Amino acid sequence: MSLEIIPVCIEAEIKQGDNLVDLLLASKLRPQLQDGDIIVFTQKIISKQEGQIISLSDIHPEPLAIGIASEYRKDPRVVQLILDQSKRIVRMHNGIIISETLHGFICANAGVDESNVMDGYATLLPNSSDKSAEEICRQIKEKTGKNIAVVISDTFGRPFRQGQVNVAIGVAGINSIMDYAGMKDNFGRILRVTAIAIVDEICSAAELVMGKSIRVPISIIRNYDFSNVSSTINEIIRPRSEDLFR
């Protein structure tokens, strides 16, 4: 049986308070959901639905933000948002600000994003993408009776590699990591440290049908055999004590 990646088109612009499950179920080209489906939602529609949209006119930058903005030719209001959403700044270079977000993610601009919103606005990451995913899972079970998994994706850069990929920032109903430790390879040797970040791989696969401007903010991954174990996105964040680059 082959893996399927099914795009779900949502024509409407997402607004605060919209019911994303109802929009998913109303999509004309969507197939009937099946037990074992994995549904990937982009972070942007979750943030919009939850009201994580900030008017830059409401932001009053402090001296630090103004100084950074001047050096890197950025909007000081956006820099202030980045600082507000950061635990710490990891690196600043060539106009790029890499920070550790309040959620523990290492990414550009603390997830503050001005794309796909009206001019003068920016979106923030959801407060808790795990809780967002859990709520969507609950609603789908309630409305369809199907047992599915939900993954919330966002676009991150990567050290040592050009380009960006979609990775998971929230999960529900699926184990984040497939750990091969203790299993044998093809030559009978015991594997000790191999652990595959399956939810990141799922998000990257989903991006192939989603894009950034084709109104496909949801996709369905079908026929992937996964462990339906309670998990959190924190399981995929490398602890500081094990991180060679922090």
pTM exceeding 0.85: yes
C-alpha to C-alpha distances, 47 to 11, 113, 175, 182, nearest whole angstrom: 17, 11, 23, 39
Q: Say which residues have a Cβ less than 8 Å from residue 103's Cβ, sequence separation at least 6.
A: 125, 128, 129, 169, 233
| Rounded average pLDDT over 183-191 | 63
**What is the Cα–Cα distance from 129 to 132, expressed in whole angstroms?**
5
Output the six-digit token pair for 148.
């599915």
Amino acid at 239: P
pLDDT tens-digit readout, 26-79: 987 778 899 999 999 999 999 999 999 999 999 999 999 999 999 988 999 999
Mean pLDDT of 133-150: 96
Per-residue confidence (pLDDT) for residue 60, from 0 to 100:
96
Strand-strand pairing, 149-158 and 38-42: parallel
Whole-angstrom Cα distance, residue 147 to residue 231? 15
Question: Which residues lie closer than 8 Å to 127 by C-beta, 6 or more apart?
Answer: 50, 52
Go through the domains of the chain in sequence order and give each one's CATH number: 4-51+126-237 (3.30.1330.100), 54-123 (3.90.1660.10)
Is residue 233 over pLDDT 80? yes
From CA 90, how far away is CA 37, in angstroms rounded? Answer: 37
Exposure string for 187-212, b = 16+ CB within 10 A, e = fewer:
eeeeeeeeeebbbbbbbbbbbeebee
